[in-house]
A and B are shown apart, each in its own frame.
Chain A
Amino acid sequence: MSTTETIEALATQEYKHGWSTDIEADTLPKGLNEDIVAEISRRKREPDWLLQWRLQAYRRWLTMTEPTWHNVHYPPIDYQDIIYFAAPKSQKDAPKSLDEVDPELRRTFDKLGIPLDEQKVLAGVAVDAVFDSVSVATTFKEKLAELGIIFCSFSEAVREHPDLVREYLGSVVPYTDNYFAALNSAVFSDGSFCYIPKGVRCPMELSTYFRINAKNTGQFERTLIVAEEGSYVSYLEGCTAPMRDENQLHAAVVELVAHKNATIKYSTVQNWYPGDKDGKGGIYNFVTKRGKCLGDNSKITWTQVETGSSITWKYPGCLLIGDNSVGEFYSVAVTNNMQQADTGTKMVHIGKNTRSTIVSKGISAGRGQNTYRGLVRVNPGAANARNYSQCDSLLIGDKCGAHTMPYIDVRNTSAQVEHEASTSKIGEDQIFYCRQRGIPTEDAVNMIVNGFCKEVFRELPMEFAVEAQKLLSISLEGSVG
């Protein structure tokens, strides 16, 4: 079959998670003003300092303009036409255990294949599930608590550990950072908080699933992870959303802090609704993620597999402050149909002997546009800094695009910075070779794409690497015929 037929075949595929759960949401009216900000804070029974912080962020946001430098195009967002807070009703009687969780909610998670039960125990995964903006279930908390690990919803952290939250909130991504970070700081609804005490190695993968459910509800998560001296944590965030007609705005902020000799691995699998074949619907994903390697010998690894959203705008970065600290970024970004992704990383070398590695794999199919945008900066004091960047693009079909925009800013002569880039097309000859051996086209494409992404997938925790491969095959279904 020709490539044209292929692309037509691809256009007919439907989003597999396209359904919505019938739960009455306890929502605020549309629009944004100081009253709404205050009401969000009130409903969440927040202390005054946090309310003031939100209001400062909101006022700052009013003075800012939406960025336009990115290579993504979308109609203007009406920020007064968005609902900034929605909570499932049943949350009012906060469930104490999984048995108390709304069965409709449980079914939602089951459809998504998120087993909030014994299966996760066996898999060694603790899940803090966010359903619309409020956490509904947290498992393993007690087991983790024995080690002094705090893993809870952001709201709970504000109530139970206000000093920790106050110390670190905004310390990596201040509300002045950018337009979407300011918006998030004003209206964030919930998210996850994780604290690993000194010398503790977190014994399991911590995992959060986000899911956007109520109609026209922007989601504004806030995640904060603090790893004290000599500690280790691996964290996975996975996302899906049901089908919607209107575009949904998502502007999350994730802050990571790694103290001396601490390691944080942060892995993301993102499968939000990408819109239909004409680009209608789909999630706008404007995310600010940053980690601070504060202490000497600290290490932060970002691994992301981005297959969803109609627009992806995110640059998980590392501030390498401690001497000998290490930042890593491994990324697979897929754009199919009308999806657009402008994603990459920022590695800022501040301390001595700091090292960073960037491996970015962009896959474009249909009419998708994929942009890698990355900054490597070596400050004057960052003696012997090293960076290695590799940006590979894979094109499927002839209507998609791949763009690579590396920014390199080196202010120390002892630095070594390497950048490699490649662009290739899935060859008809590769597919024919597979088919001649008996492997059907769809499987052949999956195999070739997975091979292309291998360096990134091997950075994911095993069970999630399998999930990532499945997501990739779903999102590229029918892309070659």
Chain B
Amino acid sequence: MERVGPMLEISDLHAGVAGNEILRGISLSVGAGEVHAIMGPNGSGKSTLARVLAGHSDYEVTAGSITFDGQDLLELEPEERAWAGVFMAFQYPIEIPGVNNAYFLKAALNAQRKARGEDELDAIEFMRLIKGRIKDLDMDPALLNRPVNEGFSGGEKKRNEILQMAVLSPKLAILDETDSGLDIDALRIVANGVNALRSPDRAIIVVTHYQRLLNYIVPDYVHVLSDGRIVHSGGKELAMELEERGYSWVETDAARPVAAVGA
């Protein structure tokens, strides 16, 4: 299907929590097939942007707009965004005691399929789907029968997020600091999992503090956030430059306006 305009269009987005403005005018276009990295120092608003996209109720959008696939994303409830194809891998995946991990994922998948008017998968079809993904992520299959994220190591939790992403197969995947707390082997596995999902009809936004994840998930565009604004945008080489020079040079450079780049 021919798409008119970018998949995701954020324009002049202002948002905050309890009257405290965190995002101060973000504009960003993300096209299908693209991978965008959002970088920036702590407190710059990276995770806030991810959560606002997912519809977290702690955050209030005070101005601006977000259009996803031609729909006003801000009008949608979090689950409706999920049904529309928005997925966020959590920085701190949530534990749900007593709820079987595979059951949870099947419930999520079938809720999405049902909302889209597709047939729900039965247990056998679901296990067939999930089996290969588990292997790709080098996950212990026993994790499927444990309660959601409960007692998982940091690496297991992050892999579980990527497993959910692989199974739910979103149009737009937002990874919120997925690299935090991962050792280099786990990082590689998670990155491979993400790369396997790169496709011409899917967009990925990688939120990260460090450049190292971007050695494995090579972005098409890099944006630097500072104090709730995108202060610099560029290609993948921008990440390398940040690694060498730190964030201070872009922050001091913040006066220079930067046009949003993208599709």
Question: Would B111 and A438 count as touching, CB distance under 8 A?
Answer: yes
Measured between beta carbons, the chain B residues less than 8 angstroms from A439 are 79, 107-108, 111
Closest A residue to B51 by CB, please name it: A432
Please, which residues of chain A bring their CB within 8 A of the CB of B96?
430, 433-434, 447-448, 451
Cross-chain pairs A/B with CB under 8 angstroms, 10 sampled: A430-B95, A433-B93, A433-B94, A435-B55, A438-B79, A438-B111, A443-B107, A451-B97, A451-B99, A453-B98
Report yes or no: A437 in contact with B57, Cβ–Cβ below 8 A. Answer: no
Identify which of A2, A433, A438, A447 gathers the most chain B CB atoms within 10 Å of its CB.
Answer: A438
With A438-B111, A438-B115 already in contact, 8 other A-B pairs whose C-beta atoms are closer than 8 Å: A434-B104, A435-B78, A436-B90, A438-B168, A441-B79, A443-B111, A448-B99, A450-B98
CB <8 Å contact, A438 and B82: yes
Asked if B88 is an interface residue, CB under 8 A from chain A, the answer is yes
Interface string of B115-148 (1 = CB under 8 A from A): 1000000000000000000000000000000010
Point out residues on B near A: beta carbons under 8 Å. Answer: 54-58, 77-79, 81-83, 87-88, 90, 93-99, 104-105, 107-109, 111-112, 115, 147, 164, 168
List chain A positions with a Cβ less than 8 A from chain B: 1-2, 427-430, 432-441, 443, 447-448, 450-455
Given A447-B96, A451-B147, A452-B97: A435 touches B77 (CB 8 Å cut-off):
yes
A447 to B56, CA, bound (A): 20
Minimum C-beta distance from A458 to chain B (A): 10
Contact check, B57 vs A428: say whether CB atoms are below 8 A apart.
Answer: yes
CA distance A455 to B107 in the complex (A): 20
Majority DSSP secondary structure for residues of A touching B: helix
Q: A436-B88, A438-B82 are in contact. Are A447 and B94 (CB under 8 A)?
A: no
Contact flag A452-B79 (CB < 8 Å), given A428-B57, A436-B54, A436-B88: no
Which residue of chain B has its CB nearest to the CB of A433? Answer: B94
B147 to chain A, nearest CB (A): 7
A387 to B209, CA, bound (A): 51
On whether the beta carbons of A437 and B82 are closer than 8 Å, the reply is: yes
B99 touches A438 (CB 8 A): no
Cα separation A1 to B78 with both chains bound (whole Å)? 11
> Nearest-CB distance from B110 to chain A (Å)?
9
Contact among B79, B88, B94 for A430, CB-based, below 8 A:
B94
Q: Are B94 and A429 in contact (CB under 8 A)?
A: yes
Q: How far is the CB of A178 from chain B (nearest CB, A)?
A: 35
Question: Which 9 interchain pairs have the tightest Cβ spacing?
Answer: A451-B98, A438-B82, A437-B108, A451-B99, A435-B78, A433-B94, A438-B112, A454-B98, A438-B111
Q: Give the complex CA separation of A359 and B247 in angstroms.
A: 54
For A427, A440, A454, the residue with the greatest tally of chain B CB atoms inside 10 Å of its CB is A440
A470 to chain B, nearest CB (A): 16
Docked CA distance A85–B100 (Å): 48
Interface pair B104/A440, CB less than 8 Å apart: no
Interface centre among B81, B87, B105, B107 (most CB of A within 10 A): B107
* Chain B contacts for A443, CB-based, 8 A: 107, 111
